[in-house]
Amino acid sequence: MDEGVEPCRSGGYSYYRHNDKNRPDDQNPAKSTHRVQPTSHSDEEPTLNRICIIANPAARGVRARLESLERLTRNVVIKTTQGPGDAEAQTERAIDQGFETIVAAGGDGTINEVVNGIGHAPVALGILPMGTVNVFALELGIPFNLLAAWKVIRARKIRSIDLASANGHLFVQMAGVGLDAQIVERNSRRVKHVLGPLSYLLTATQVAAERPPRLRVLVENQPAREGSFVLVGNGRFYGGPFSLFNEADIQDGLLDVYVFKSMNYVALMRYFRGVLFGSLAKFSDVHYFKANHLVVKSDRHVPLEADGELAGHSPVEFSVRRRKLRVLVPA
């Protein structure tokens, strides 16, 4: 007997057997669901049946930890993604199927896809930090230990955070127009794999040697600000444990914005020191301000990254909706 249970739109549950040919593909574990466990475990709360984990097996460490995840999360549906874009599509399907909590198991890229799949749906987002970069988990204080992170999800403490968007693409942590997006754009996956962070540094040196774009940053009722690259923060951290946006509040309905005037090698080194010493906002060639809506225009096509993923080109319209994303966080 191999039975499973999945929640329905109606709020009830649909029961099925693994050999049920009438069941839709979306609910067929052989096709899209990594595993669905029987419901006979009495030590799990029934609400856990409404949790769907979206795991990206391509993210570092995920495949190796899937087995421990399965042992830990009995009664919970785990869906593994097939490639770029699939985490977003699977999240949309899971919400259509009535799941009330969507858990992203992966790095910031996976979380960003899941967030875009959630959109403005009233579901909760859980995080199981895996993969290479986990800045969002760091921001929210979510433990990097799998068991501890799972306990956070089970404890069900919800924090409503601001949901930012760049040309309609949602993001939770940060975004950039210019320099950092150019670096992301030029680092092919293969090179990134071989050289790791070194390839980013090498590309940064290359980009810094070129003529920087001229960006105009427009905020209603304020004079235009000009610069070479722009970084936008919803949270405080950028690219790791660097509190770049040190005045950021993820619940205030405002984005923190840096506009950097220079982009040459010497200026970048100076900016980097400013980040380390927390003095960046005081630099005379750096603008730091808050806004709930801004537009970045340029004299040429400049790439945009959101949560570390390429998300189009300039012009970019940024906005933020206050406390629109419900995230499961530590008590």
Binding-site ranges for Mg ion (CB under 5 A): 249, 252, 254
Nearer to Mg ion, 208 or 291 (CB): 291
Nearer to Mg ion, 16 or 136 (CB): 136
Closest separation between CB of residue 258 and Mg ion, Å?
13
Residue 7 CA to residue 21 CA, distance in Å, equals: 19
Nearer to Mg ion, 138 or 254 (CB): 254
Residue 309 contacts residue 133 (beta carbons within 8 Å): no
Evaluated on CA atoms 133, 137, 140, 145, the torsion sign reads negative
Residue 79 CA to residue 56 CA, distance in Å, equals: 9
Single out the residue of 253, 252, 234, 140 nearest to residue 244, CA to CA. Answer: 234
Closest separation between CB of residue 250 and Mg ion, Å?
6
Q: For strands 51-55 and 101-106, give the pairing.
A: parallel
3-class secondary-structure state, position 38: coil
Nearer to Mg ion, 62 or 172 (CB): 172
Closest separation between CB of residue 153 and Mg ion, Å?
24
3-class secondary-structure state, position 27: helix
Closest separation between CB of residue 183 and Mg ion, Å?
25
Closest separation between CB of residue 158 and Mg ion, Å?
18
Nearer to Mg ion, 13 or 289 (CB): 289
Residue 157 CA to residue 328 CA, distance in Å, equals: 5
